[in-house]
Amino acid sequence: MLHWLQQPWPWYVSGPLIGLMVPLLLLLGNKAFGISSSLRHICAACLPAKLPFFHYNWKAERWNLFFVGGVMAGGFIAALFLTNGKPIAINPALLQHLNQYQIQEGNSFVPTTIFSWQGLLTLRGFIMMVLGGFLVGFGTRYAGGCTSGHAINGLSNLQLPSFIATICFMIGGFIMANFILPFILQL
Amino acid sequence: MQNTTSIQKIDTNTDFEVRSLDTMCTNDSSLQHPWWYNLKYVMAGIIFGIILIKAEVISWFRIQEMFHLQSFHMYGVIGSAVITGALGVFIIKKMHLKTIHGEPIFFIQKKFSKGQIYGGIIFGLGWAMTGACPGPLYALIGSGITVILVVLFSATVGTWVYGAIREKLPH
């Protein structure tokens, strides 16, 4: 059992399990699956600063903060006990493509030359983490949800706005990965 | 007694405009629970965090593969997740299932706004840069890559700035 858990799960196992989070949260307490609103609750709790967008009863939404706290704990448990230590089977063509930007390793979840505390002090690392993070937080709230809220939850409920949002997530991602990131990675 | 307080609570919440734009942020339970009722969401979160790691969707490399069309993996994960989620929602609607506390389950119809286009593209740009959407950010921090705290903090700042200037943005 543990041995099986430590193997990488194929998409047709992990995908449906992710999808089951939608009915699970509905059955637990009529909650709409979504992660990015936790960032809004953090703002509302820490620095509402007279902005109407952050003046609401965030305590009524605290389930979401418990949920993301659990996600963090789950990441800890899985990384510590449920991995087999082998690198993720990335397409070799991608790794070869990344080689030209001095990104050799594929055995971590992230390229550690960029996503590390030392990498934060490099120009490309700073841009990708600080600016990238800003765009994630700004964009998800502007769009009213992220991959979980729109792409998984919204599409599960056949919501057209979520379909539009998901298409735009992909458009933004394709533009960045193919046309902008090559320049950032060269820095 | 509980009913009258809940009605009051709904009546005093006049912040419909702000609410309607944030489709992810709804708490429709009229039951008042002690805080430890939320521990079940910690459990759900732990399960979700483990799945995210095992699904490898927290990998920056997997996200790059997806946007370079070099692997089916991410499309398979998201596609099968949507199909399973839709099946779950369909069953809940069809059988009129209630929550484990006996409350009715209802669904919010999302309203279209231009934010889904502009905000969606902005998020997509950030997604391909950081290689992580918000869920994986939390899971990555838990997995021991502590520098992702910077990304999460920056995302929180981004959310705050959106809240500060949203009146000026097209919706």
On whether both A74 and A48 belong to a single domain, the answer is: yes
Nearest residue of A to residue B74 by CA position?
A: A11
Cα–Cα distance, B98 to A30 (Å, whole number): 8
pLDDT attached to residue B1: 39
Answer yes or no: do B41 and A63 touch at CB < 8 A.
Answer: yes
- Give the closest residue to A17 by CA, choosing from B71, B84, B38: B84
Q: Which of A119-133, B8-22, B151-165 has the least mean pLDDT? A: B8-22
What span, in angstroms and rounded, lies between the C-alpha atoms of B41 and B22? 21
Q: Which residues of B touch A110 (CB under 8 A)?
A: 59-60, 131, 140, 145, 148
Answer whether B22's CB lies under 8 Å from A144's CB: yes
How far is it, in rounded angstroms, from Cα A5 to Cα A81?
A: 9
A120 and A82 belong to one structural domain = no
Q: Which two tokens stand for residue B27?
A: 């708490």
User: Which of B48, B125, B147 has its CB closest to that of A117?
Assistant: B147
Tokens of B24: 């992810």
From the list A22, A75, A152, which residue is nearest B53 (CB)?
A75
Is A79 found in the same domain as A63?
Answer: yes
Based on the domain organization, do A110 and A75 belong to the same domain?
no
Q: Would the pLDDT of B28 be above 70?
A: no
**Which portions of chain A are predicted below pLDDT 50?**
none
Strand partners, B104: B98
Residues A19 and A78 in one domain: yes
CA distances from A128 to A28, A75, B120, B125 (A): 37, 22, 18, 10
**Mean pLDDT score, B143-158:** 97
pLDDT band at B18 (very low <50, low <70, confident <90, very high): very low
pLDDT in the model for residue B9: 39
End-of-domain residue from the set A41, A62, A86: A86
The answer to whether residues B60 and A176 touch, using CB atoms and an 8 Å cutoff, is no
Q: What is the structure's pLDDT at B12?
A: 34
Across the interface, do A136 and B130 touch by the CB < 8 Å criterion? yes
Task: Tell me whether residues A78 and B113 touch, CB distance under 8 A.
Answer: no
pLDDT at B14: 33
ipTM > 0.90, yes or no:
yes
Range B16-20 average pLDDT: 39
Per-residue model confidence (pLDDT) at position B136 = 97
CA A109 – CA B57 distance, rounded (Å): 9
Strand partners, B98: B104
- If one counts every other C-beta atom within 10 angstroms of the C-beta of residue A172, the result is 26
In whole numbers, what is the pLDDT of chain B averaged over residues? 85
Residues B78, A15 contacting (CB under 8 angstroms): yes
Q: Are the C-beta atoms of residues B130 and B151 closer than 8 Å to each other? A: yes
A82-88 contacts, C-beta under 8 A, 24 or more apart: A82/A5, A82/A6, A82/B50, A82/B53, A82/B54, A83/A6, A83/B53, A84/A6, A84/A7, A84/A8, A86/A8, A88/A8, A88/B56, A88/B59, A88/B61, A88/B62
Alpha-carbon gap, residue A43 to A48, rounded angstroms: 6
Pair A7, B55: CB distance under 8 Å: no
B22 compared with A68, residue with greater pLDDT: A68
- Which residue from A minimizes the CA distance to B155? A137
In the block, which residue shows the tokens 């809004």?
A: A40
Q: How many domains does chain A have?
A: 2
Cβ pair B139, B46 in contact under 8 A: no
Using the 3D structure, point to which of A86, A114, A141 is the last residue of a domain.
A86
Q: Which tens digit of pLDDT belongs to each residue from B59-105? A: 999 999 999 999 999 999 999 999 999 999 999 999 999 999 999 99
- Closest Cα of chain B to A40: distance in Å? 6
| Whether residues A26 and A94 fall in one domain | no
Binned at pLDDT 50, 70 and 90, residue B35 comes out as confident
Q: Is pLDDT of B54 > 70?
A: yes
Mean pLDDT along residues B27-33: 59
Contact residues, A window 165-184, toward B, CB-based 8 Å cutoff: 165-178, 180-181, 184
User: Residue A20: what pLDDT?
Assistant: 97
- Do residues A98 and A79 both lie within one domain? no
Listed in sequence order, the residues at least 6 apart from A46 whose beta carbon sits closer than 8 Å to its beta carbon are none
The residue whose two tokens read 């605290």 is A62
Question: Are B119 and A108 within 8 A, CB to CB?
Answer: no
Q: What is the pLDDT of residue B30?
A: 53
Cα angle vertex B59, ends B54, B64, to 5°?
135
Q: Are residues A39 and A75 in the same domain?
A: yes
Residue after which a domain boundary falls, among A33, A66, A86? A86
In angstroms, the CA B91 to CA B124 distance is: 31
**A42: domain range?**
1-86
The pLDDT assigned to B56 comes to: 94
Kindly indicate the confidence band of residue B19, based on its pLDDT and cuts at 50, 70 and 90: very low
Query: Is A152 within 8 Å of B48 (Cβ atoms)?
Result: no
Does the pLDDT at position B150 exceed 60? yes
Which amino acid belongs to residue A72?
A: M
CB within 8 Å of A26: residues ≥ 6 apart:
A32, B88, B89, B92, B99, B105
The residue written with tokens 């060269």 in the block is A186
pLDDT digits (tens, 9 = 90+) for B106-135: 888 889 999 999 999 999 999 999 999 999
Q: Same domain for A32 and A76?
A: yes
User: Residues of A with CB below 8 A from B70's CB?
Assistant: 91, 93-94
Whether residues B92 and A176 touch (CB distance < 8 A) is answered with no
